[in-house]
Amino acid sequence: MRFTFLATIVGLAVGALAQSSAADAYVASEGPIAKTGVIANIGSSGSKSHGAKASASPSTSNPDYLYSWTRDSALVFKALIDQFTSGEDTTLRNLIDDYTTSSGRLQQVSNPSGTVSTGGLGEPKFNIDESAFTGAWGRPQRDGPALRATAIITYANWLLDNSNSTYVTQTLWPIIKLDLDYVQNNWNQTGFDLWEEVNSSSFFTTAVQHRALREGATFAARIGQTSVVSGYTTQAANVLCFLQSYWNPSAGYITANTGGGRSGKDSNTVLTSVHTFDPAAGCDASTFQPCSDKALSNLKVYVDSFRSIYAINSGIAANAAVATGRYPEDSYQGGNPWYLTTIAVSEQLYDALIVWDKLGSINVTAVSLPFFQQFSSSVAVGTYASSSATYTTLTTAIRTFADGFIAVNAKYTPANGGLAEQYDRASGAPVSAVDLTWSYAATLTAFHARGGKTYASWGAAGLAVPATCSTSGSGSSGGAGTVAVTFNVQATTVYGENIYITGSVDALQNWSPDNALILSAANYPTWSITVNLPATTAVQYKFIRKYNGATTWESDPNNQITTPASGSATQADTWR
C-alpha cells in the first residue's frame, strides 16, 4: 500500500514536471513567433496584411478574414499598448499612433449600422482600406467601442505621464469620448456577441462596457472633462448591476448570452475574466476577477464541457488540461478547439496565481470548492495562508494545470509555429483561418501572465453593486430601478428541447421568439431564470419551446406579474 501511494506521488510529480517543461519550451520558441505573427498582420507595412491597418488574418477564402474588426483590433492593440507603456517594447509607438489615427477615421465612416451619430460605432468590421463593409453580417456588435476606448485610454494615460497632454486632449479625447458616449447610451441594447452569432445581451460585452465606463470616468476627470464623469459613473453602476444577472447559481457557471438557445457555457466568460483582470481588485466576485469563486467555478464547468466531445481529449484525466473551444455546441468549421480559447484558460489561472501570491492566501468558498477539489480531494471551505501546506499543494497543482493548457496548444502547433484559428477536434491538425492575429495576441498575453506580469488597475477594487438597477442608457441618473424576478416553470421536455421566456418589456426581448431568453434546467423538470425587470411595472410574458428548429408557444392567455418596488420576486408557473 505504501509503495502504491509513493508510486502515485512520484507519477504525479513526473507528470507535473513534464507539463512545465513542455510549457517552458513552448514559451521560449513560440513567444518570438507570436510577436512576429501579430506585427505581420497589422500596420500598413505588415508583411501579411496587404496594406491593412489591422487584419484578423491574411486568409481570403474559407474563411475570408482579411478585414479590420473593431473588437479584434482593440484586443490586439491593448496587448501591444501594455507592452509599450510598461517599457517592454519601446519600438511599438508608430504602430500605436497609426492605430489611434485609423480609429478616428473609422468612427466617421458611414456604414450599414449607421453614421457616427446614429449607431455606426457598433459596426463590427471594415474593409482593410478603411471603407465600409456593406455585405450581410451580424450587426451591431457593441463590444468594439468599449474595447477600443480601453486600449486608447491606456495609451493616453502614458502620454499624460510623459508630458504630452495636448495630443491627448485635442486628438485622442474626441475619439475616446465618441466610444464612451456610445457605450453610455447603448449598453442596455442587445447586439451580436463576440462570436458574431447570437443577438442578445452578452456577458463579455456587458463586462467590457463596464470596464470602459469606469476607466472613462477616471480618465475624463484627469483631463478636466468633468461634465461627463457623472453620466459615465452612473451608467457604470447600472452595468455592474446588470452584469450580476448572468451568474447561474444553481449550475455554478456564467450563462454567456441571454439568447441563442444554447447551454451558455462559453469561452466568452473566460475571456471576460482575462480582459477585465484588475490586479488591484483581489478576488472580487462582482467583477468576476480571475480568482473569484464564481470565475473559478465557471472555469471548471466550461473546461469540463469539452472533455468528452473532442476525440483528441480522449483518455485525459478528469483534472488535467484539455483542448477547449468556443462552446460545446459549436459547429463552425466543424466545431473545433481554438488556440486562443485553450490558452485563455491558462491565462485566467496564471492571473489567479498572481493575486493569491499578492494576497498571501487562498479563500475556498462553497461556490469554488468543486474547482479546488480537482487538486486536493480533502480541501474544505476556508482560508489557507501562503505558509500552509494546503496553499502550497493547491498553487503547485493549479500552476501545473495551467501549464497543461499551454502544453496542449504546443502539441497541436505546427513546426513553423504558425497559429491558425482552430485545430481539428479529431486529428489536431490546424484548420480554418491561418495566422490568426488574435491567436498570436492571446498567446503573448498568456505568456506574460505566466511570467507574473500585470498592468495598470482599471478601478475594479471596492465597487459596490447597487441594490436596484436602472436600465436607462441615456447617461442621466433618472429612470426607474429594476428588481430581480426569478421565473420557475414546470415543463417536461424531450432531449434537445429547451424552454425560453419572452415578454412585453425590453428585458424580456419584447415578445421576440428569436431573442427569447433560455431557462436553466439544472433543477429539471423545473426550468428557471432570473431577470432584472423594471420595478413597479405590469409585465406580460409567455414561455416557448424550441426543438429541432421549431418554436412552440404555450397557450393563451399571457402570464402577467406586477413587479415590486424593490427587492426581488419569484414567479411559479406550469407549462400550458
Q: Which residues are catalytic?
A: 193, 196
Spatial distance between the Cα atoms of 143 and 221, rounded to a whole number of angstroms:
23
Whether 34 and 444 have beta carbons less than 8 Å apart is answered as yes
Written as nine digits, the cell of 39 is: 506585427
CB atoms within 10 A of CB 183: 29
**Would residue 485 be called left, alpha or beta, if left means φ above 0 and alpha means ψ between -120 and 50 degrees?**
beta
Spatial distance between the Cα atoms of 239 and 470, rounded to a whole number of angstroms:
9
Spatial distance between the Cα atoms of 87 and 30, rounded to a whole number of angstroms:
21
Residue 109 makes CB contacts below 8 A (sequence gap 6+) with: 120, 123, 126, 130, 131, 132
Spatial distance between the Cα atoms of 201 and 349, rounded to a whole number of angstroms:
26
Spatial distance between the Cα atoms of 125 and 493, rounded to a whole number of angstroms:
40
Binding positions are: 137
Spatial distance between the Cα atoms of 156 and 179, rounded to a whole number of angstroms:
14
DSSP codes of every residue in 496-564: T-EEEEEESSGGGGGG-STTPEEPEEEETTEEEEEEEEETT-EEEEEEEEEETTEEEEPPSS-EEEEPP
Size (the chain), residues: 576
Label each residue of 416-441 as H, E or C: CCCCCCEECCCCCCEECCCCCHHHHH
Whether 188 and 195 have beta carbons less than 8 Å apart is answered as no
**Euclidean distance between the first and the last CA atom of the chain, given in angstroms as a whole number:** 59
Whether 92 and 444 have beta carbons less than 8 Å apart is answered as no
